[in-house]
Chain A
C-alpha cells in the first residue's frame, strides 16, 4: 500500500491516539495499600476551630474545586440567648477567606467545619442509578466521574448538602477524603493545613490510631444521627443547635 499524503493524514492521528492509550495504561493502587485494612473517618474538634478557612482553601487547591463550590466549608453559628431554637448560620464564600467580625457578639458563637460524612449506609450511593458512586472497602464514598451521568439524584439525596455538579465536568463531585493522598500514607489536605488540629484524619481499623483513646474519653456526636446514614465524621464538643 502506497502511503499517500491523504492516508498519512488519517493514519497519524489514529496512531497518536493508540500510542497515548498504550502509554497511559490502567492506574493501579500502590502495592502496600490493602483496601480491607482501613476504615477511614475524620474527627472534628469544634472547640479548636478558629474559622481561618485554611481547610477550604487547601481543599480547593488540592482537588481543583471550582470557585463557588465547596467540598468542605465552615459554618459560623450564632445562637442568641433568647432564641436557642433558631441559630443563625452563615458561611460567606464557604469560609474560604475567613469570617468578618460578628455583628452581634452576644450569645453563643462558634465555627463548625463540614464535609462529606463518608456514611457507611449513605443515601447518595443508594440512589445512583448507574453505580457511579459507592462506598469503597476502606470506607470512603467516592464518585466515578467517568461513569457518572450527572443526573443529580445523589445531590438531592445527601442530607448534609455535601454534593454538587461540577460545572466543568457536568458530573457529581464531593469530598473524596483526599483518597489520592491517604493511600500514599499522607493525611488529607484539610487536616494537613489545619493550624489548631481541629480536623484529624483517623483510621478506625488501625489499633494504634489515637482516635480510639479520644472516642473512649470524649462524648462525640455525628451530624443528623436520626437520618441513620452511618455518618463517620465525628464531632467533639458539638452544640445541640448544629444542623
Chain B
C-alpha cells in the first residue's frame, strides 16, 4: 500500500461529493424536457403550438355565411379567403354576437390588389384607380363578392354612368 492512503481517500471523498453536487445541480438546472427530441427543450414545441389563433380560416366563416359563399361562387373572387379582405376574425368566429367585423373601405382595399403595377402578372386584372374611378369607393359599382358588373341582360340591372356620378357627387 501507499504510505499516504489517507490523503487519497480524502481526495476521493471530495471528488465524490463534487460529482454528487454536479449531478444534483444539473438535474435542478436543466429543464425536464431537454433532450426529449434533440438538443433543445421538448416542451417548447407544445408551448409554441399553444398560441391562440387570430385568423379563423375560411371554413369557419363558411359554416355560417352560406349566402356569401353562394354569391362568391358566381365570380372570380371565389378563390379568395374571407379574411384576406375582412381581416383576422377568430374572435368573431368564437363569439359572433359581441365581436363584429369592422366596415371596410373598398377604395383602399381593392386597390391593394388591383392597382396597376408593371411587376404584377400580365393576366391579372389591374386598373389605375385615379383614371378608373377617381378615388370613389369601388363598391359603388362593383359587388366585391362577385366583382364583374352585371349587364342589363342579366337578372340585375346595373346603374348607368350618369346615375353613379350623381350618387357620388358629394363624395369626391
Contact = CB atoms under 8 A, between A and B. Distances in A.
A180 B51 contact: yes
B58 A192 contact: yes
B43 A58 contact: no
A161 interface: no
B119 A184 contact: no
Interface in B13-43: 31, 34, 37-41, 43
Interface string A174-187: 00100111011011
Which of B37, B111, B121 has its CB near the most chain A CB atoms (within 10 A)? B121
Interface residues of B, number: 40
A47 B121 CA distance: 6
A127 interface: no
B113 A52 contact: yes
A137 interface: yes
Contacts of A52: 112-113
B137 interface: no
Contact of B39 (A109, A134, A176, A197): A134
A80 to B, nearest CB: 13
A105 interface: yes
A97 B50 CA distance: 30
Contacts of B118: 101-102, 105, 109
Contact of B53 (A102, A131, A142, A186): A186
Name the prevailing secondary structure of the B interface residues: loop
Contact of B38 (A29, A77, A134, A187): A134
A140 to B, nearest CB: 9
Contact of A142 (B48, B120, B121): B48
Contacts of A48: 121
Interface string A124-160: 0000000111111100001010110000000000000
A187 B53 CA distance: 11
Nearest to B59: A186
A125 B46 CA distance: 18
Interface residues of A, number: 56
A220 interface: no
Given A62-B55, A194-B84, A26 B46 contact: yes
A99 B53 CA distance: 28
Contact of A98 (B40, B52, B115): B115
Given A192-B81, A192-B84, A102 B117 contact: yes
B142 to A, nearest CB: 15
B47 A132 contact: no
A129 to B, nearest CB: 11
Nearest to B90: A62
B117 A180 contact: no
Contact of B52 (A49, A147, A180): A180
B64 to A, nearest CB: 17
A109 B124 CA distance: 14
A28 to B, nearest CB: 5
20 contacts: A26-B46, A49-B121, A50-B117, A50-B121, A77-B119, A78-B119, A97-B112, A111-B120, A131-B34, A131-B38, A132-B40, A134-B38, A136-B37, A142-B45, A180-B52, A192-B83, A193-B83, A195-B79, A196-B79, A196-B124
Closest 5 CB pairs of A and B: A27-B50, A144-B44, A109-B119, A180-B51, A134-B40
